[in-house]
Amino acid sequence: MTLPIRNVAIIAHVDHGKTTLVDSLLRQSGIFREGEEVPTCVMDSNDLERERGITILSKNTAVRYKETLINIVDTPGHADFGGEVERVLGMVDGCLLIVDANEGPMPQTRFVLKKALEKGLRPIVIVNKIDRPQADPHGAIDKVIDLFLELGADDDQCDFPYLFASGLAGFAKETLDGEGTDMKAMFEAILRHVPPPVGDATKPLQLQVTTLDYSEYVGRIIIGRIHNGTIRSGQQAALVTETGEIVKGKITKLMGFEGLKRVELAESTAGNLVAVAGFANANIGETITCPNEPQALPLIKVDEPTLQMTFSVNDSPFAGQEGQFVTSRQLRDRLMRELETNVALRVEESDSPDKFLVSGRGELHLGILIETMRREGYEFQVSQPQVIYREVNGQPCEPYELLVLDVPEEAVGGCIERLGQRKGEMQDMQMGGNGRTQLEFVIPARGLIGFRGEFMRQTRGDGIMNHSFLDYRSLSGDVETRRNGVIISFEEGVSTFYAMKNAEDRGVFFITPSTKVYKGMIIGESNRPQDIDLNICKTKQLTNHRSATGDELVQLQSPIDMSLERALEYIGSDELVEVTPKSVRLRKLTKKLAKR
């Protein structure tokens, strides 16, 4: 007998508590044995996800409740990973929309909700973090209703069910006054409001590829939903590719989901989510079908990239010293491999064999790829992110973003002024009762490049900034971005305390004493609009009148820590970020830098 099935996705703005809620659902479903050590954020299996506290890749899990198999898909909340959200929504029949009780709907809430409504899903709204101080659950519900109406939801979608919850405390309840002790109300809401999957087990097989994985034992693993038919381990099948070509093959392994594990299945029928091995060249959106009656499902459409960078072989004087993979062939192979699973990414070859144009959905999307590659041992350099222009109705257009800032009251004026210089238009301003103000802007995407560092200075690190892609609009003219000039090393060597102390009045440094530098390397930010060349390796001349320990009590001001994201936002059009497994350096783009 086949178990009844519910397929549900969990969608939300980044940091509104999706993964923590899934933790509570998993714990209370009984999939962990008694005494088993369970980490927090069990669905964030990737190292980068755990470090940053964000979901990057969508993941599947399944729990049983009242003899019903509930397949749960945890999706990313950041718009830069919208490619993940778009394709997995085709696997499910309902969704849980998580909203922070304090913040209410945020830019990415709009983004993921719009995608869900376009698919015809009827969301169940979960107002999370109701146990936090300053939470306003009913206010959050009102804002969600406004957002539904703004996005053109139909009457049925606007009449959404909602629950109040705390993922951290592990409870959900139907009313604020009710007693919340467990997640039973959420399980019941899923059974009641998420329709069973539609599909006919007697029709020819149709399974759409929505996620790709890889195993050293069985090769490429396809994850997707069976739309029609029955699939069996060992059966003959056919893959209908993007171009319409039919490739015959065999299902070598069939797996289902149970908790955090994949379990081998003999067969599975329409409506279920499964993992399949046997088709080494399958790609996202393609269909596995019956070889006798091959019928393809519509291909998955993913929004186009809005930002582009140049990845190139490192040609600095320090090239090849820290990386394991440094050649153009290795760089190209790695980027092409990324295309197999990262549907929102585009890679084009340029007129130079050492350079590749890589397009993505935003700085974070590309930054995660760069960070992943450097951890794998790759050494390369990247250019400043550039927006991708497009023609709409014969007019040149550029991408615009919806930007929401949550800032202390004293920083409001400075933020409005800076965004005005970057062609931002204020849409809304909400004064909070806690000394904070929420500002909403529509701004060209290129106006946001390099803004985050400036924003953190304006708000003294106390501001929250969120943005998501809005649409393409007419060009907005010149945008004023950076800023001051940079301090450049004009010789190769090792930076000294003496030289840096003498140059402190020129600006602020990105490096510390005893750092290896080369000619053309950017070592700091000037306090003037012009770039400054500096001899950072100059040593103090010692005589019998001067002691080498005479400056022991003198201290340097703290340098700016240039993380990868900060470096990508900071560089100008004539500058590069050199990325190696051990270092992130900034340098000037010159025709030929002096070699060792």
Coil, helix or strand at residue 227: strand
Determine if residue 18 is labeled as part of a ligand binding site. Answer: yes
Coil, helix or strand at residue 260: coil
Coil, helix or strand at residue 50: helix
Q: What is the DSSP-derived secondary structure letter of residue 476? A: -
> Do residues 256 and 272 make contact, with C-beta atoms less than 8 angstroms apart?
yes
Tokens, residue 550: 């005479």
- The Cα angle at residue 446 between residues 444 and 451, in degrees rounded to 5: 100
DSSP H helices, 345-470, are 363-375, 412-421, 445-448, 451-458
User: Cβ of 87: how many Cβ atoms within 10 Å?
Assistant: 23
Tokens, residue 123: 């969301």
- Report the run of H or E that residue 303 belongs to, with start and end: none
> Do residues 406 and 474 make contact, with C-beta atoms less than 8 angstroms apart?
no
3-state SS of 495-522 is CCHHHHHHCHHHEEECCCCCCEECCCEE
Give just the sign of the alpha carbon dihedral 517, 521, 527, 531: positive
Give just the sign of the alpha carbon dihedral 79, 81, 87, 88: negative
Q: Residue 215's closest CA among 265, 253, 267?
A: 253
Own/partner pairs, 116-120, CB within 8 angstroms, 24+ separation: 116/9, 116/11, 116/89, 117/148, 117/151, 117/152, 117/153, 117/157, 119/89, 119/90
Coil, helix or strand at residue 405: strand
Determine if residue 20 is labeled as part of a ligand binding site. Answer: yes
Determine if residue 17 is labeled as part of a ligand binding site. Answer: yes
* Residue 318 φ/ψ, nearest 5 degrees: -100, 15
Give just the sign of the alpha carbon dihedral 166, 167, 170, 173: positive
**One-character DSSP codes across 556-567:** PPPPP---HHHH
Q: What is the DSSP-derived secondary structure letter of residue 170? A: T
Q: What is the DSSP-derived secondary structure letter of residue 81? A: G
> Do residues 316 and 381 make contact, with C-beta atoms less than 8 angstroms apart?
yes
DSSP H helices, 37-173, are 47-52, 82-88, 107-118, 137-150, 155-158
Determine if residue 226 is labeled as part of a ligand binding site. Answer: no
Q: What is the DSSP-derived secondary structure letter of residue 483? A: -
Tokens, residue 256: 């289902």
Whole-number Å distance between alpha carbons of 582 and 101: 41
Coil, helix or strand at residue 191: helix
Q: What is the DSSP-derived secondary structure letter of residue 195? A: P
Tell me the binding residues.
15-20, 128-131
Tell me the binding residues for GTP.
15-20, 128-131
